[in-house]
Amino acid sequence: MSALLQKVVEVAAAVLQRPDGTFLLAQRPADKIWAGYWEFPGGKVEAGETAHDALVRELHEELGIEVLTAYPWLTRVFTYPHATVRLSFFRVTEWRGELYPHEGQQFSWQQAQDVRVSPVLPANAPILRALELPALYAISNVAELGVESFLIKLQAQLDAGLQLIQLREKNLTPERLRELAVRTVAMAHAAGAKVLINGDLALAREVGADGVHLTSLQLAELTERPSVAWCAASCHTDEELQRAQRLGCDFAMLSPVLPTQSHPGAAHLGWERFSALAAGSSIPVYALGGLTRAEMSIAWQRGAHGIALLRQAW
C-alpha cells in the first residue's frame, strides 16, 4: 500500500524531564518493530482515548508511574515503511512512583547536546534538537537601555543561566550594530549561550553568530532555509507558522499573545488562539507579547516551548 493511502497511526510520546534537563530514552523491546532503537516512552492512542489519556496509560503500563504534569509540546508526522505516524509529544516534568521497565526495556537518561545512545528512532532527530532549546528567548533592548547598560545586564543574565538571545536592533547604524553583535556573540559564547541575529544573514555569518531570526517579511519571501546552524522566524498567523515549518526553521516565535506596552490597543492572539496554533506545530513555538517570567508555566500549559521576552528579559 502506498504511504499516501496508509491510515495515520496516532501515537503519544513522553519526554520525561528531570529538573537538570536530562530526559529519559527507552530501548524498544525485541518483540516490537524497530527493536533495539531508542525512543521516548509512549505508544499508540487507542479508540476513544485522547493523546493525553494514551500518554498516562502507556507510562503506567510501561514504566509504572503516574503522570502528574504533562505539557503538550510538538506534533510530528512521519512516514515509515510500515506506517505513517502522528506523534504527539508531551513534556512530562512531574510524576509519582519509581520508574520500572515493565517491558524489559533498557532506560537511559540523556542530555540534548550529547545523546550517547544509538540508534534513535528516525522520526526523533528533530525532537532531540528541539530539546536543546531553553525555555527563555531574550530579545535585546539596546534601543531603550543603551549599549553599555544593555551589555552589563546581558552579562548578569548570562551569569544567571540565559542561553538564547536574539539581537534585534533596528535603529543602530550598520557599524554600531556590527560592533554590538561582535561583543554580544563574544559574551554569549563565553557563557555557552547562542545568539541569533534578527533579519541579517550576512551579519550573522560575519560575526560568527549561531544563526538568524527571520522577520515575517523574510519568511514570506524566502524559498530556502538559510544555511546556518539555527534559523528561527517571527510569526503572527497560522499561515506564517506553517510556512516556518515548511521552510525548515528550527523554531518560531508567535506574537503578540497579550497586549504589549509598545502596542497597547493592538489586536493580540490571546492564549486560546495561541494554543490552537501551537498545538499542531512540529517545531518549538515561543510565546511573545505582554508576558513576564511568571507566565512560563501558563505558556507551557498552552503548548509553548517557552516564552520570548524583550523589556522583561533585562
Ligand X SMILES: Nc1nc2c([nH]c(=O)n2[C@H]2C[C@H](O)[C@@H](COP(=O)(O)OP(=O)(O)OP(=O)(O)O)O2)c(=O)[nH]1
- Segment 235-294, which members bind ligand X (CB under 6 A)? none
121 makes contact with ligand X (CB under 6 A) = yes
Q: Which is nearer to ligand X, 34 or 107 (CB)?
A: 34
> Of the candidates 56, 63, 74, 85, which one interacts with ligand X according to CB under 6 A?
85
> Of the candidates 3, 18, 36, 44, which one interacts with ligand X according to CB under 6 A?
44
Q: Which single residue is written with the C-alpha cell 509598545?
A: 262
112 makes contact with ligand X (CB under 6 A) = no
Nearest approach, Cβ of residue 1 and ligand X (Å): 15
Nearest approach, Cβ of residue 298 and ligand X (Å): 27
Give just the sign of the alpha carbon dihedral 192, 166, 309, 306: negative
- Segment 12-41, which members bind ligand X (CB under 6 A)? 13, 32, 34, 39-40
Residues 6+ apart with CB under 8 A from 231: 211, 212, 213, 214, 225, 247, 248, 249, 250
222: nearest Cα among 250, 243, 252, 196: 243
Nearest approach, Cβ of residue 14 and ligand X (Å): 8
311 makes contact with ligand X (CB under 6 A) = no
Q: Which is nearer to ligand X, 39 or 200 (CB)?
A: 39
> How far does Cα 180 stand from its chain's mean position?
27
* 126: exposed, middle or buried (Cβ count in 10 Å: 0-12, 13-18, 19+): middle
Residue of this chain nearest to ligand X (CB atom) = 43
> Of the candidates 83, 115, 191, 276, which one interacts with ligand X according to CB under 6 A?
83
56 makes contact with ligand X (CB under 6 A) = no
> Of the candidates 65, 67, 87, 233, which one interacts with ligand X according to CB under 6 A?
87
Site size for ligand X (CB under 6 A): 17
Extract the C-alpha cell encoding 117.
Answer: 545512545
Nearest approach, Cβ of residue 119 and ligand X (Å): 12
Tell me if 196 sits within 8 A of 212, measured CB to CB.
Answer: yes
> Of the candidates 16, 23, 24, 43, which one interacts with ligand X according to CB under 6 A?
43
176 makes contact with ligand X (CB under 6 A) = no
> Of the candidates 88, 124, 163, 184, which one interacts with ligand X according to CB under 6 A?
124
Q: Which is nearer to ligand X, 67 or 138 (CB)?
A: 67
Options 77-85, 128-136, 234-242, 257-265: segment touching ligand X (CB under 6 A): 77-85
Q: Which is nearer to ligand X, 109 or 237 (CB)?
A: 109
157 makes contact with ligand X (CB under 6 A) = no
137 makes contact with ligand X (CB under 6 A) = no
Q: Which is nearer to ligand X, 30 or 190 (CB)?
A: 30
Residues that bind ligand X (CB under 6 A): 11, 13, 32, 34, 39-40, 42-44, 78, 80, 83, 85, 87, 121, 123-124
